[in-house]
Amino acid sequence: MTDILTPRERFGLLVIDEKPDRCNTIPLITSHAASVRGMKLRDYYTNGENMARAQIAAIEKYGHDAISIFSEVGIIAEAMGTEFDYPENDLPIQRIPALEKKDINDIEIPVPTSDARLPVYLEAIEYAYDALGDRVPILAYIPAPFTTGMMLSEPNRFLIQTIKEPDHVKAVMEKSLAAAIELCYHAIDAGGLPIIVDPLASSSVISPRAYRQYALPYERKLVDFLHRYDLDVILHICGDTTPILDLLKETHADLISIDRVDLTDTIKKLSSTVRVIGNYDTSLLAFSSPEEIASGVRDMVKLSMQAPKGYIAATGCEVPIHAPFDNVMAFINAAKENGWYWD
Amino acid sequence: MLKNIDPQKISLKEWSRQFRLLDDSEIRRFKYYNNDEWGIYLSPPATFMVYGARELRKLKLDNSLAALRLWGFALNESERLFRARQSGKHIIATMGDLGTVPVIAMAFPDCIPFYPDCTWWTPFFNESTVLLDKASELGTPEASCFVRSTLAAFHKMAYFPKPDILFASTGASCDDYSCIMQMVEDMGFELNWLEIPFRRKKQDHFTDEKYARTPQGLDYPERFETYLINEYKHVWQRMQDLTNDGDPEKLGESIKKNNRLRRLVDQIKALTHGAKIAPFPALEMMVIEFGNLYGYADIDEWIDILEMVKSKIIDRVKSGNGVLDSDAIPLAWITPTADPLLLNIVEDLGGRVVATEYVINQALSEIEEDIDPFRALARSFMNASLIGSTEERIRHISAGVDSGRIAGVIITNMLGCSHCAMETRAIEKRLKNVPILAIDIPAPLGITEQIRTRIAAFIEMLK
Amino acid sequence: MVLGLDVGSSYTKGILFDGHVRNKIVLKTSFKPKLAVERAVNELRGYDRIVATGFGRDLVANADKTITEITAFAKGASHIEPSVRTIVDIGGQDSKIIKVKEERVDRFVMNDRCAAGTGNFIEKIAQALDLSLAEFGQLAVNADRAEIIDSLCVVMAETEILSLVAEGKRLEDIVAGVCEALVRRIDGIGSQIGIESPILFCGGGALNPGLIRAMKRIFGAVTIPEHPQFIGAIGAALSL
């Protein structure tokens, strides 16, 4: 079947509860785009034009349905003072967390147009929007407050603080929320649709109690801020979310992107009110064959097409940087072939 | 919020900054179809830009809450139509006649008329050739009018839902549009055609013809009334078949409601065009005029918005404030701009639009309420801009020129519009007493520095 | 002392003006208008204020005023030839015909869509014939007659000219024919507003003797100012 709609039109129908020609196919092709363009990772995440050009090259190669402006979840924390190393062929590595040097009260809310690599992100959004914004949605990944909080801290210490120093953690959350809102505000003006990512709030990292207490309220505040704009909000949490699946509805997100969770269960629990995104195991993209991927994706899509509020075929987590191109292509082709809604 | 700000046109980013100050309660106050869940439409321009309306990055819009409502509502139409269908309403496509068939459709319960041919604007708002390229692929010649994007929209079914009924006019209507509708029919859509007669003037070689005159003073052969009444009764019948309803009293009510809208727009135009300093921008004024065609698929909410716009304009006129300089050069504009950016540019360069002829006269004039409603509709349609001579079309522009209110006239020529190509010279000949600038509207993203220079030079010349 | 800058698409022209032209400069604009503006501003010193015109007028960051080239030409031409009624400017990328009344623009038309009515037409044909612009102009003056070239489109005209060459027609006559084809096009565009004498011919095109000859053949008397390229810059300087 040949596509009838552009990715922009397809996504537009999904978010107003209409069935598009076929299901949206948006594997999380983030830094993998650098490989597509044959670019060193450092060149990708330190230069907005490079990031956008890599994303555009990936769209041209694979024909998936959205641009993903993202490299790693530390961007807001970095702009708030966490120091990172920039290896040439790897993603930034956290060196000194901001809260190891400063008190949370001494940390300022970053200015997205000038602080750390936030301008890189904004430039990437704007460049991509200029180039393809009329036909492809530009997703701007925004780290949620909890994830930023972890990136501002020494992770183990922060986890202990969630139990022993709730006031400190709340202060960190408030500031991280303000920073995220500020970034969203600029990302929207640049043409990006914010997608909230909170991987460090998954049950692989924190308890459902800590999720409910610290992550959920701030995810919801961020979602509510975006709802003021009448934007459709995507929340992505990679890792295990089985224990908090029921709570995800309370974030008010319109589209929920899941990773290591049973898909049937998720559809049953969520999809009467939200659109489900997910959840092909990304490790398989790195290590299995195109044939295996095609068959796995077909089963996933066939099952998820039943979701009443609609579905986006995606990977549970980011597509591995060095995933073989044929494997990624196999995912996309299989999702397109099996995800047809129209006669 | 936004109460005590000086009127001006502001950029998308400035609107975003201003929008942050709005209370949630203010945002949730306005909704279409009175629906709380999906009917909220008050968003900053940035939202629509994020969803693809790319030209909003360049356009400067009025900074009032009333204007924000107007834009939110107009730009939300596509979603509104889908929501209408989802909530069980009938979607009635009314094409080509520009302002009469919707009045009939509104007389039926839960019927939402709209104009698929208004997809014409989309390539410009989106700065995109997606629809135009698709239309070419589907077989329309590249040199035809931008209305060909409608064909692509029917193919894609992503800009409006599949209509329950399609009415399309033909005859003395736009030729490219008619051809495109024939192609839509060939795509499998069932079209109900209405034939529109040409409003010929009284001339010796038409013997034995009795003539009548519209309240606006245009002559037409009287038998056209009977002819059009039949066409409209046909429309009525089809609507009755669809809805199992059809109360002739309701047609009178629909006429009254549409007249209320038309009067309101007339007042807004008079206030704006007559003010010493322009109280409202030309682009918003164009959106207001075109709303007369069908109330952007929720006429009640649209009327409410315009009431708010009107009181904002009254406030501004009273306080002597406006969005342009007091020495802006008064201009008349003939035929719609297609690319909204042109209106912004003309104002930025020192012009001010004080009269318009956007080829929708039939939707601007009031429908008579004291005669048979079908006859009233027929007589109202006889005011149509496109079905008569050029001379009649420019009559009210000439009146403005003669009274000295208009310093110059801008005519926009549509690429591929045979009508425009023929008419521009004729208009130039007839409007002898006033300088005229004709601009060929380029394809989306095609406004060049040279077009800007030409407009700038024209306005410098008039200063 | 005013610096008048006319940032055209092909050339940037600058003059120092205090009622008379005190100094002047012409620079190729190419695709680097900002660079040309910078050089002109640096090389013409001793001015108090700057007025910019031409397609790149908004690139002159420290301009005290900007006006369009249409208005500038009307002012400049009226200063040089107060009785002028029509200005014909054949520029690199566009040409303009401006009717003047009491030193102000009365009506104007521009050709900016198609190379056929601009200096670009001459440049393209000269290239195809492997001639420099100077050689082209000189050859045209030595023509006995002008060959008829009907095509208004550069691409079509090229084919037509090559076939004339193949037929053994004199190069001088062909080149003169090209000039006349261009001026006929100008005549066609100008007829929309009515070309009236006295006519002032300016812009880069007025440096080409072939075009001057063709202008005179078609319009009769045509005045060529002393510095035809600088009319816009002079008009800009005068507009303060």
pLDDT at A50 over 80: yes
Crossing angle of helices A155-164/A145-152, nearest 10°?
120
DSSP string of A275-338, one letter each residue:
EEEEEE-HHHHHHS-HHHHHHHHHHHHHHHTT-TT-EEEEESSBPPTT--HHHHHHHHHHHHHH
Range of weakest confidence among A31-45, B136-150, B413-427: B413-427
Q: What pLDDT is stored for residue B177 in this prediction?
A: 87
ipTM at complex level? 0.96
Q: How confident is the model at residue B173 (pLDDT cuts 50, 70, 90)?
A: confident
User: A221 in a domain, yes or no?
Assistant: yes
Cβ within 8 Å, pair B449-C55: yes
Burial of residue B137 (CB within 10 Å: 0-12, 13-18, 19+) is exposed
pLDDT at B207 over 80: no
User: A343 in a domain, yes or no?
Assistant: no
Cβ within 8 Å, pair B450-C94: yes
pLDDT at B11 over 80: yes
- Strand pairing category for C104-111 and C95-101: antiparallel
pLDDT at B205 over 80: no
**Structural domain span for residue A239:** 7-338
Average pLDDT rounded to a whole number, residues C186-211: 90
Range of weakest confidence among A183-187, B72-76, C177-181: C177-181
Q: What pLDDT is stored for residue C141 in this prediction?
A: 87
pLDDT at C116 over 70: no
Q: In chain C, what are the domain boundaries?
A: 1-81+229-240, 82-224
Average pLDDT rounded to a whole number, residues A69-87: 97
Supply the CATH classification number for the domain C1-81+229-240: 3.30.420.40
Q: What pLDDT is stored for residue C113 in this prediction?
A: 62
Average pLDDT rounded to a whole number, residues B263-267: 98
Q: Which residues of B touch C108 (CB under 8 A)?
A: 457-458, 461
> Which of B40, B52, B161 comes nearest A134 by C-beta?
B52
Please write the tens of the pLDDT for every residue from C7-54.
988 889 999 999 899 999 999 887 788 888 889 888 998 899 999 999
pLDDT at B133 over 90: yes
Q: What pLDDT is stored for residue B396 in this prediction?
A: 77
b vs e for A57-68, b when ≥16 Cβ sit within 10 Å of the residue's Cβ?
bbbebbebbbbb
pLDDT at B204 over 80: no
Count up the domains in chain A and report the number.
1
pLDDT at C120 over 70: yes
Question: What are the residues whose beta carbons fall under 8 Å from the beta carbon of C46, sequence distance 6 or more?
Answer: C1, C16
Q: Which helix (H) or strand (E) holds C80?
A: helix C69-80
Q: Which residues of C touch B453 (CB under 8 A)?
A: 55, 68-70, 110
- HSE value, Cβ hemisphere, 13 Å, CA-based, for C238: 22
Question: What are the residues whose beta carbons fall under 8 Å from the beta carbon of C36, sequence distance 6 or more?
Answer: C7, C12, C27, C28, C29, C30, C56
Question: Mean pLDDT score of chain A, rounded to an integer?
Answer: 96
pLDDT at A164 over 70: yes
B440 lies within 8 A of chain C by CB: yes
Please write the tens of the pLDDT for every residue from B96-108.
888 899 999 999 9
A286 lies within 8 A of chain B by CB: no
B457 lies within 8 A of chain C by CB: yes
Q: What pLDDT is stored for residue B402 in this prediction?
A: 83
Residue A63 backbone class (left: φ over 0; alpha: ψ -120 to 50; beta: rest): left
Average pLDDT rounded to a whole number, residues B319-340: 94
Q: Which residues of B touch A193 (CB under 8 A)?
A: 50-51
Cβ within 8 Å, pair C69-B457: yes
Residues B116, B154: contact at Cβ < 8 Å?
yes
Q: How many residues does chain B have?
A: 463
Q: What pLDDT is stored for residue B442 in this prediction?
A: 81
Same fold, C1-81+229-240 and C82-224: yes
Please write the tens of the pLDDT for every residue from C128-185.
889 888 888 888 888 888 888 877 676 777 888 888 888 888 989 999 998 998 898 8
Average pLDDT rounded to a whole number, residues B413-432: 77
Chain B neighbours among A 211-230 (CB < 8 Å)?
Answer: 228-230
Q: Which fold has domain C82-224?
A: Nucleotidyltransferase; domain 5 (3.30.420)
Which residue does chain B place closest to C105, by CA atoms? B461
pLDDT at B269 over 80: yes
Please write the tens of the pLDDT for every residue from B245-254.
999 999 999 9
Range of weakest confidence among A183-197, B331-345, B428-442: B428-442
Range of weakest confidence among A204-213, B134-143, B189-198, C144-153: C144-153
Cβ within 8 Å, pair B155-A18: no
Q: What pLDDT is stored for residue B418 in this prediction?
A: 67
User: A136 in a domain, yes or no?
Assistant: yes
pLDDT at C112 over 70: no
Q: How confident is the model at residue C103 (pLDDT cuts 50, 70, 90)?
A: confident
A131 lies within 8 A of chain B by CB: no
User: A176 in a domain, yes or no?
Assistant: yes
Cβ within 8 Å, pair B461-C94: no
Token representation of residue B245: 């309803």
Range of weakest confidence among B53-57, C115-119, C223-227: C115-119
Which range of B84-98, B166-180, B203-217, B408-422 scores highest in mean pLDDT? It is B84-98
pLDDT at A137 over 90: yes
Q: What pLDDT is stored for residue B137 in this prediction?
A: 94
Q: What percent of chain A has pLDDT above 90?
A: 99
Domain CATH for A297: 3.20.20.210
Please write the tens of the pLDDT for every residue from A267-319.
999 999 999 999 999 999 999 999 999 999 999 999 999 999 999 999 999 99
Question: Mean pLDDT score of chain C, rounded to an integer?
Answer: 89
